[in-house]
Amino acid sequence: METRASSPISHREALRKAEQSIAKAKDAVSKDLHRLKYHFMAPAYWINDPNGLIFFKGEYHLFYQHYPYAPQWGAMHWGHAKSKDLVHWEHLPIALAPSEPYDNHDRGGCFSGSAVDDNGTLSLLYTGTMIQEDGKVVQTQCLATSQDGITFEKYEGNPVISAPPEDGSADFRDPKVWRHNDLWYMVVGSGKDGEGKALLYKSANLREWDYVGVLAESDGRIGTMWECPDFFPLGDRYVLMFSPMGMGHHKTIYLVGDMDYETGKFTWDQMGDIDHGFDYYAPQSFLDGKGRRIIIAWLNNWDWMPWYKDFGPTYQNNWCGAMSFPRTVELEPDGRLKFSPVEELQVLRREHVHLGNTKVTPGKSVLPKYVASDCLEIKAEFELAGCKAEEIGFVLRASEDSTQQTLLSCNLQTKELRFDRSRADGWSEGVQTAKLEAADDGVLKLHILIDTSVIEVYTDGDRTVMTNNIYPDPGSVNLDVFTVGNDVVMRSIDIWKLSSAW
Ligand code: FRU
């Protein structure tokens, strides 16, 4: 088939050029003051979805969508890093670069996918994207393997799935593979006639795949195309996660239900948002050596325009994008999910401040000044029984004169968690809200992770999570607790300064 691919290049040569480009840029990038301290970033340039997450031979591997030539999306490569503890990461050579007719084009490349351990061979399943002469986008599923976990060879029989089934469309991407009994299974994201779908395949050898059918699909409410589907058992149930296109501010959805491998059908009875923030997309899961189901997501999403506004000011310093801190996924007794930052974060805890029972009064500051930092973990509990306050919250990343500040608040009247970044930095925009269940309980617990340019918030027993990027000046580090309308009792607060993991 004719393609508009750039002139032929070997995979090895494509990787070498990409590495050179990163090597030239990375020292200057590392000096940028918005670089994160404990969230994963590429050494330079563009990053989007996490790919190929796997606990392999005792180490965590993270691959990621990567454009190694500019701080913007382009022909997709797979960056690669590994870690022993999910906190400290070591960059490895780029694993995949566009090089073949089926994955080589400046608007195509090696799109998202997953990794499995095939009897000691680290095997990557990814979407090859090419654009034909007539402009048509062709997405196929491809395989690459590695014996040493570092150097990957593309399978000579690629693509392993060369066309979408009747149930799907040209949007046919992001294979997630797992093993069940003696077979490999793959779910691929697609959509047809305005309904998002997860398509199911099976294989005995990762090379020949049989189409099973539609695992699950939208019922008119859950988006038009399901990007990055992920399917896994949890407790006695199954979970399907995906990033729906065309579902407004719902960017990451989970469904909980039951799987019938005989029919290849997943029937679900619970739906929820994985994260309610502006900047959390394409989470991927894996099982680690401790039996934990862990997810990592891209700290951005596609919706905002123009793109430079959406993806933050860091492109001016040749980098763009990062990963969320890893979260465990657990099933609650009522069938919902909770998401908690992995406990390994504690290795970064340094100075600690604890305050016990403290009355918070409107207009009065509570926290000592010395807790100020751009890298913090905060755990706070507020007494809601008998509380007459309208709103309780935190002023975060505030400048001395308060012209820069981010407000995180819990409105007890509207029963909403609210994140207002409209005065964060002169760049970020928008207020994000989520339903706050704690407003009906006796106690409000907040767990907040602050890093240089991101804030992750966990509440409602980790059932409500919200992640947003902000880009304040490095000196805007003040924080305090506030209440509106009446006093509130803060039962306790613990604040840890976190050291850098890099
Ligand atoms: C999700 C996504 C995937 C695709 C990749 C391309 O963010 O659009 O569907 O494979 O990004 O980089």
Q: List the CATH number of the domain containing 167.
A: 2.115.10.20
- Taking the centre of ligand 1 as the mean of its atom positions, its distance from the CA of residue 470, in whole angstroms, is 23
Q: Which of residues 298, 315, 341 is at a domain's end? A: 341
Q: Please give the full DSSP string across 260-281, using - where no structure is assigned.
A: ETTTTEEEEEEEEES--SSS-E
Confidence of residue 195 (pLDDT cuts 50, 70, 90): very high
Catalytic site residues? Answer: 49
Atom of ligand 1 nearest to the CA of 227: 9
Q: Which two tokens stand for residue 155?
A: 């399978």
Say whether both 332 and 385 belong to one domain. no
227 lines ligand 1 (CB under 6 A): yes
Say whether both 262 and 408 belong to one domain. no
Say whether both 244 and 291 belong to one domain. yes
Say whether both 332 and 479 belong to one domain. no
- Taking the centre of ligand 1 as the mean of its atom positions, its distance from the CA of residue 173, in whole angstroms, is 8
- Taking the centre of ligand 1 as the mean of its atom positions, its distance from the CA of residue 73, in whole angstroms, is 10
- Taking the centre of ligand 1 as the mean of its atom positions, its distance from the CA of residue 227, in whole angstroms, is 7
Per-residue model confidence as pLDDT tens digits over 331-364: 999 999 999 999 999 999 999 999 999 999 999 9
Asked if residue 129 belongs to a domain, the reply is yes
> Quick one: pLDDT at residue 307?
58
What's the rounded Cα separation, in Å, for the pair 417 and 410?
Answer: 5
Say whether both 188 and 67 belong to one domain. yes
> Quick one: pLDDT at residue 224?
97
Domain that holds residue 464: 349-497
Say whether both 202 and 311 belong to one domain. yes
State yes or no: pLDDT of 407 exceeds 50: yes
Per-residue model confidence as pLDDT tens digits over 226-262: 999 999 999 999 999 999 999 998 999 999 999 999 9
Say whether both 389 and 487 belong to one domain. yes
Cα 84 to Cα 62, 121, 296, 398: the distances in Å are 11, 19, 16, 35
Say whether both 232 and 314 belong to one domain. yes
Say whether both 120 and 179 belong to one domain. yes
> Quick one: pLDDT at residue 304?
57
- Which amino acid is present at 353? V
> Quick one: pLDDT at residue 438?
83
Confidence of residue 104 (pLDDT cuts 50, 70, 90): confident
Say whether both 337 and 359 belong to one domain. no
**Number of domains into which the chain is organized:** 2
β-pairing, 225-234 vs 237-245, is antiparallel
Asked if residue 1 belongs to a domain, the reply is no
Q: Which of residues 293, 325, 341 is at a domain's end? A: 341
β-pairing, 358-360 vs 488-498, is antiparallel
Asked if residue 125 belongs to a domain, the reply is yes
What's the rounded Cα separation, in Å, for the pair 431 and 449?
Answer: 18
Q: Please give the full DSSP string across 158-217, using - where no structure is assigned.
A: --SB-S--TTS-S--EEEEEEEETTEEEEEEEEEETTEEEEEEEEESSSSSEEEEEEEEE
496 lines ligand 1 (CB under 6 A): no
Mean pLDDT across 11-31: 97
Q: Is the dihedral of CA 315, 317, 322, 325 positive or negative?
A: negative
Q: Which of residues 282, 316, 341 is at a domain's end? A: 341
* pTM of the entire predicted model: 0.97
> Quick one: pLDDT at residue 1?
39
190 lines ligand 1 (CB under 6 A): no
Mean pLDDT estimate for the chain: 95
> Quick one: pLDDT at residue 377?
98
Residue from 103, 137, 173 whose mutation best tests the ligand 1 pocket (most atoms within 8 A of CB)? 173
> Quick one: pLDDT at residue 393?
97
What's the rounded Cα separation, in Å, for the pair 343 and 316?
Answer: 34
- Taking the centre of ligand 1 as the mean of its atom positions, its distance from the CA of residue 379, in whole angstroms, is 34
171 lines ligand 1 (CB under 6 A): no
What's the rounded Cα separation, in Å, for the pair 383 and 444?
Answer: 7
Asked if residue 2 belongs to a domain, the reply is no
CATH at 459: 2.60.120.560
Asked if residue 258 belongs to a domain, the reply is yes
Say whether both 135 and 274 belong to one domain. yes
Residue from 63, 174, 241 whose mutation best tests the ligand 1 pocket (most atoms within 8 A of CB)? 174
What's the rounded Cα separation, in Å, for the pair 460 and 438?
Answer: 5
Using CA atoms in the order 250, 254, 255, 261, what is the torsion angle rounded to 10 degrees? Answer: 130
Say whether both 142 and 248 belong to one domain. yes
First to last CA, the chain: 45
225 lines ligand 1 (CB under 6 A): no
Atom of ligand 1 nearest to the CA of 73: 12
Q: Which two tokens stand for residue 283?
A: 């989470």
